[in-house]
Amino acid sequence: MQVELGRTGLSVTRLGLGLAPIGGLYADVSPEQARATVDRAWDRGVRLFDTAPFYGYGRSETRSGEALRGRAGHVLSTKVGRVLERQDDGESDADVWAGVDPSVRPVFDFSASGVRRSFEDSLRRLDRDRVDVVHLHDPDDHLEQAVAEAYPELVRLRDEGLITAIGAGANSPDVLAYLVERADLDVVLMAGRYTLLDRSGTDLLDLAAERGVAVIAAGVFNSGILADPRPGATFDYAAADEVLLDRALRLKEIAEAHGVPLRAAAVQFPLRHPAVASVLVGLRSPEEVDDAVDMLAVPIPDELWAAIA
């Protein structure tokens, strides 16, 4: 099933594939597994794919481009706001990105020239001459420059026919609201703030609906706890405290009492808001793709939604 992505003229599937994991997020992924993951998503009908220069320091874009080359009828998004610089000290975020090139470092740059350079570098890695959606990526500490310089450069890229839609991606709903109110965005990508455990992004979704801005909801498992709530599970990439774990376990009990896996409720919950066009799930294997697609198709009774409202 595909739906309109707001006013962009693009159509997306209700489930999108987040491509950070195939870039090596927290664990290395072989080229073969990365390709098999994208192939399985395609075979299961997924037609929204999201990458970024930051993901694996360019490796996610390169692998995405190879896997999607020659395929039509999908929407691909990437991001600007960081440029990849060569360095001599060999330092890298090895605790976040496995298998990355140690001679490369991502550097924030929301200047017009930085946006243009980032985009052109992305086109080379993706082996494309245009991209459907480009997001301002994590502009939290650069908001004024993002509005004054980065956004107008994206407008120029759109006017040149190089992109179709302009968006912004961040964790913070306040950051996204700031941008929605000051720039004519087509879409926003919000991670982890409209989930079964964290609904702090509700006001942003309402604002987006009012402004006609489409929303892609990412981080629906809050980095793991809603996929498998157990001691040691993570919430926003850190160990969940006892209160959060108890809440997640209670949600699991409620879901299973209605015959529904918690993962299914977590994937489908954001789609209940009218502003949300698609949920984006980061996956690193064909098996994870199968599970996400299957969870999206699980029938969920209204009684379950009422019980966790």
Catalytic center residues? 50, 55, 79
- CB contact at 8 A, 134 and 119: yes
Which tokens in the block code for residue 60? 């996610």
Q: Are 220 and 266 in contact (CB under 8 A)?
A: yes
What's CA 245's distance to the chain center, in Å? 24
Among left, alpha and beta (phi > 0; psi -120 to 50; other), residue 26 is left
What's the rounded Cα separation, in Å, for the pair 278 and 2?
Answer: 9
121 contacts: CB under 8 Å, gap ≥ 6: 53, 58, 83, 84
- Taking alpha carbons only, the member of 59, 57, 62, 60 closest to residue 85 is 57
